[in-house]
Amino acid sequence: MASGMLHKFLHLTNFRSPFLRTVVPSVAAAFALQTAVAIPSIAAQTERFYDISGSATFLTVTLLSLYLPSLRARAAASLAGAPKPPLPSLLGPFTATAGFHWRQVALSAAVVFWSVRLGTYLFRRVLHQGHDSRFDTLRGSPGKFAGAWFGQATWVSLCLAPVLAVNAVPPAALAAVPLRVTDVLGLALFAGGFALEIVADWQKGEWLHRRKEKLHDEPFMTKGLWSRSQYPNYLGECTLWTGIATTAAGVLVARPVQVGLGFSGGLLGKLLVLVVSFVSPAFITSLLLKVSGVPLSEKKYDAKYGHRKDYQEWKRNTPKFFPKLY
C-alpha cells in the first residue's frame, strides 16, 4: 500500500519542468509531515515535539529532494517489471561514481548537520525546562497552535528553497560549471555561521548550568560572544543560510544549469533563481529580527531586567546583531 501511494505521489508530481518536479513534492512533504505531528500535538496541547519535528522535516525533505530522480527511476522500473536501479551513494561525487554532483551533496549535508544539531539542542532544552514560553498563549487555542505548525512548514520550505533548486538540476549540468568563487565563499560563510551559532549556544548553556549550580549569580548573559553581540546565535543562523544561498545562486545562474532546469538562460530565469536562493536568508533574517527571535527575547528580558542599570548599559553598549570587533 505504501509503495502504491508513493508511486501515485511521484506520478502526480512528475511535471515536465525539472524545477517543479523537485520543488512541488518536497514542499508538499514538508506540510504533510508537519500536519502529521501537529494533529496529536494540538490534541494534547503540547509543544514538546515542535522543534524536533522541524528538524526531522528539514532532514527528510532535503534527502527526498536529493533522491527524487532515483525514486522516480525505481518506480518506473517497477511498473515496467524491470530490475530496480540501486540508490546512488552520497559518496559518489567523491569516488568518481555516478549519482549526484558534489554541490548537491555539500549543500544537502550542510542542512543535515545544521538540522540535527539545532533540533537536538532545542529538544533537550524544552525537555529540561518542561515547556517553551513561546507557546504559552498558543497551545490552548487550536487555531493559533495550528498556525504555528503551518508556519514551521513554511519556514522549512522557504529556507530550503536554494537547496531544492540545486537538487533539481541534473548532475551533468552542474558538472559543466567549474568551481566558482561563490562555491568557496558560500561554504565558508556556512562554516563560519554554523561555528558561531554552536559556540554561542554552548556559552549560553554553560552559563545557565553554572548559574543553576550557584557558581555565579549573574541575572543575564554578558560574557563571551554575548559581550560582542546581543544575539550572536541569531547572527550565526542568518550567516549560515546566506552561505547556502550564495553557493546555490552562484551555480544556478550559470547557463548550463539554467538549461538543465528548463529555462532559456535569459534574464528572467536568472532573476528567478536569485530570488529562490536569497528568499532563504531574507526570510530567516526577517523572522529572527522582526517576528519570533529578537522581539520575543527583548520583551521577556526587558520585563525582567529593564529596571537594572547594568542591563540598560549592556543593551546600550552591545550591538544588537553585528558584533563589535575591538
- pLDDT tens digits along 142-176: 888 888 889 999 999 999 999 999 999 999 999 99
Instruction: Using a cut of 0.85, tell me whether the model's pTM lies above it.
Output: yes
pLDDT at position 140, please? 74
Q: What is the mean pLDDT of residues 291-302?
A: 85
Could you give the CA distance from residue 249 to residue 224 in angstroms, rounded to a whole number?
A: 34
| Burial category of 16 from C-beta neighbours within 10 Å (exposed 0-12, middle 13-18, buried 19 and up) | exposed
Neighbouring CB atoms inside 10 A of 31's CB total: 19
pLDDT in tens, 2-59: 566 777 777 788 778 889 999 999 999 999 999 999 999 888 888 888 888 889 999 9
Is the per-residue pLDDT at 111 higher than 90?
A: yes
Predicted confidence (pLDDT) at residue 108 exceeds the cutoff of 90: yes
pLDDT for 259 beyond 80: yes
Q: What is the pLDDT of residue 83?
A: 78
Higher pLDDT, 104 or 223: 104
Q: Minimum mean pLDDT among 185-199, 209-223, 274-288: which range?
A: 209-223
The number of residues making up the chain comes to 326
Residue 243 has pLDDT above 90, yes or no: yes
Q: Is the pLDDT score of 98 beyond 90?
A: no
pLDDT of residue 189: 97
The pLDDT value recorded for residue 25 is 94
Mean pLDDT of 60-85: 83
**How much is the average pLDDT of 280-307?**
88
Mean pLDDT of 58-80: 85
Residue 128 has which C-alpha cell?
Answer: 529540561
Mean pLDDT for the stretch of residues 102-115: 95
- pLDDT more than 90, % of the chain: 45
What pLDDT shows up at residue 246? Answer: 98
Query: What pLDDT sits at residue 62?
Result: 96
pLDDT at res. 307: 86
Residue with cell 514538546: 48
Phi, psi of 253 (to 5 degrees): -85, -10
Residue 81 neighbours by CB under 8 Å, 6+ apart: none
The mean pLDDT value for 196-212 works out to 89
Contacts of 164 (CB under 8 A, 6+ apart): 22, 23, 26, 27, 61, 65
- Region 308-326: what's the mean pLDDT? 83
With 90 as the cut, is the pLDDT of residue 186 above it? yes
For 49, which DSSP code? T
| Identity of the amino acid at 42 | I
pLDDT at 155: 92
CB 311 within 8 A of CB 305: yes
pLDDT class for 295, splitting at 50, 70, 90?
Answer: confident
For position 132, what pLDDT does the model report? 65
- Please check whether residue 118 is in contact with residue 103, taking contact to mean a CB–CB distance below 8 angstroms: no
For 69-93, what is the mean pLDDT? 77
* For the chain, domain boundaries: 1-101+135-171, 176-326
Selected residue with higher pLDDT from 214 and 259: 259
* pLDDT recorded at residue 90: 76
Cell numbers at residue 234, please? 541569531
Q: What is the mean pLDDT of the chain?
A: 87
* Biggest CA pair distance of the chain: 75
